[in-house]
Every structure is written in C-alpha cells, then in structure tokens.
Amino acid sequence: MNEAVLKPAIVPAPIPMRELLPWVVFVGLILLLAIYFVGAEEGATSIVPGMYVHEFVHDGRHLLGFPCH
C-alpha cells in the first residue's frame, strides 16, 4: 500500500500567434485611448466638450506626470 504513483507532467500548450495577435491589438488600442484621455483630453484636442473628463482623471494626470495647470 505504500507504492508511489507517478502522474504525467502537465505541459501547457503554446498559444498560436494568430490567436494572440487580435487580443494584443485590442489591448494596445484600449491603452492608447486611456493615455489620450488621461494625457491630452483638454483644450484644442478635446473630443468631449467641457472639463468633465479632465476633472475625472485629474489625479491620474499628476500621478503619471502630465502637466495640466
């Protein structure tokens, strides 16, 4: 009853690049959009009228080193 039982090692299957690439592009676009709203959404390049987006991300701007005033 004291026999050792060996289990086969589980080897993860590699993810093909053609399946990974759309997700990488999607996440990259979302990150670029987030950087735009945190870093440049005010003044002449503003997409959203008013200062609502600026005030929403104001502390994040300072944390990331973007000047805003």
Q: How far apart are CA 44 and CA 29, in angstroms?
A: 22
In the predicted model, what is the mean pLDDT of residues 52-64? 81
Q: Look up the pTM and report it.
A: 0.62
Helix, strand or coil, per DSSP, at residue 33: helix
Q: Where does the pLDDT of residue 27 fall: very low under 50, low under 70, confident under 90, or very high at 90 and above?
A: very high
Predicted pLDDT of residue 9: 84
Who's near 64: CB < 8 A, 6+ residues apart? 38, 39
Q: Is residue 54 within 8 Å of residue 42, measured between CB atoms?
A: yes
Q: Is 43 left (phi over 0), alpha (psi -120 to 50) or beta?
A: left
